[in-house]
Amino acid sequence: MPAPWEQKESNRVILIRLGYDIALGLPAPTTIVYVLYVHPSRTPDLVTPENFRVEPALPVEEYQDGFGNHCGRVNAPAGNIRFLSEAVIRDPGEPDLCVPSEPQNDVTSLPLDTLSYVLPSRYCEVDSELLDFAWSTFGSTTSGWPRVQAVCDFVHQHIRFDYLKAKANRTALEGFRERVGVCRDFTHLAITLCRCLNFPARYVTGYLGDIGVTPSPDPMDFSAWFEVFLGNRWYTFDARHNARRIGRVVIGRGRDAGDVPIAMAFGRHTLAHFRVTTEQVDRIDSLSS
C-alpha cells in the first residue's frame, strides 16, 4: 500500500458545492465578528457567487483583516441569528503538492512577512517545554520537508481524534499533554513544533470534503490544517489526516485559530444549529438538488 503522500495524482478539474447553515441563540443584543467567506485567493475559482445572507436580514459590514481574510461584522438583536451560504467552486482536483526536496530557510534569510509565523501566539506556545521536546525529537531528522513530515507523523499518532473532547480554548501544550482533540488541536501542536524548529507555520481553516477518500461517518464540519514556508513558498500540511487531500478550499489564514474565528460573539450565546456542506458535484445545476 502506498504511503499517504504517494497517492495517485488526479488530472481533472472538479466542481465542489460549498455552504453552511449556522444558527446562534442570543439572550441579548450582541455583536458578532465572523470569518466565513471563501478566501480572496480562491474567489476567482467561484463558478457561482457565494449566496451569503443573514436571517433576520441585518446590515453587514465587510472588511479585510490584517491577514488578508474576508471578514464581516453584524450587530444582532436578541433571539436567533442564522448565517447561510451556498456556492459552487472550481478546483484543480489535484492532491496537495508534495516536494520532499524543498529546503528549510535559515531564519537570517526568511522573508520579513513570514517572521510572525515563527513566534509564539495565543494557542501556540513556542516558549514552553515543547521547544526542548521538538529539538530532542526532530533535531536529528533530515532538515527541510522531511522534518516537517516527521512532525506531522508524530502529531498524527500522538493525538487521538474525538469530537466529544473538543475544547475551544485548548492550547498546543495542553493538546500535547492531554493527547486528545479535534483538527484544530492537531494543527496547533504541529504548528508549534514547527515554529520551535524555526519553520514559519500558519493556521488555515476551510472546507475539506471527502473527495477521493472513503467518506467519514461523522457530520461534515469546517476543517483546520496548516502551511509551512519552505524554499520560496508556502506548502500545505495536515497532521490530522496526514495525507494529501483533494479539494481544500481556504476560508482564512492566521497565526492560530484565534485569528480566524468562524463566528465570535461578543456576549453570551448558544449554538442552535450547525451544518456544513462540502461535496463534489457533476454540474452546476446540482446546487439545487
Those residues whose C-beta lies under 8 Å from the C-beta of residue 177, and which sit 6 or more positions away, are none
Query: What CATH number is given to the structural domain containing 27?
Result: 2.60.40.2250
For residue 76, what are the domain limits? 14-93+262-282
Residue 239: inside a domain: yes
Same domain, residue pair 268 and 250? no
Residue 289: inside a domain: no
* Cα 120 to Cα 123: distance, rounded to the nearest angstrom: 8
pLDDT score recorded for residue 283: 63
Same domain, residue pair 184 and 249? yes
Same domain, residue pair 222 and 266? no
Residue 6: inside a domain: no
* Cα 190 to Cα 155: distance, rounded to the nearest angstrom: 6
Same domain, residue pair 37 and 112? no
Same domain, residue pair 218 and 118? yes
pLDDT score recorded for residue 253: 98
Residue 8: inside a domain: no
Amino acid at 54: V
- Write out the chain's pLDDT in tens, 289 residues: 334 434 444 458 999 999 999 999 999 999 999 999 999 999 999 999 999 999 999 999 999 999 999 999 999 999 999 999 999 999 999 999 999 999 999 999 999 999 999 999 999 999 999 999 999 999 999 999 999 999 999 999 999 999 889 898 999 999 999 999 999 999 999 999 999 999 999 999 999 999 999 998 888 999 999 999 999 999 999 999 999 999 999 999 999 999 999 999 999 999 999 999 999 998 655 444 3
pLDDT score recorded for residue 164: 87
pLDDT score recorded for residue 282: 84
Amino acid at 210: D
pLDDT score recorded for residue 12: 80
Residue 287: inside a domain: no
pLDDT score recorded for residue 11: 56
Same domain, residue pair 252 and 128? yes
Angle at 174 between CA 190 and CA 3, to 5 degrees: 30
Same domain, residue pair 141 and 170? yes
Same domain, residue pair 26 and 53? yes
Same domain, residue pair 217 and 149? yes
Count up the domains in the chain and report the number. Answer: 2
pLDDT score recorded for residue 286: 42
pLDDT score recorded for residue 10: 47
Same domain, residue pair 126 and 237? yes
Same domain, residue pair 113 and 252? yes
Residue 204: inside a domain: yes
Residue 133: inside a domain: yes
pLDDT score recorded for residue 287: 43
Query: What CATH number is given to the structural domain containing 134?
Result: 3.10.620.30
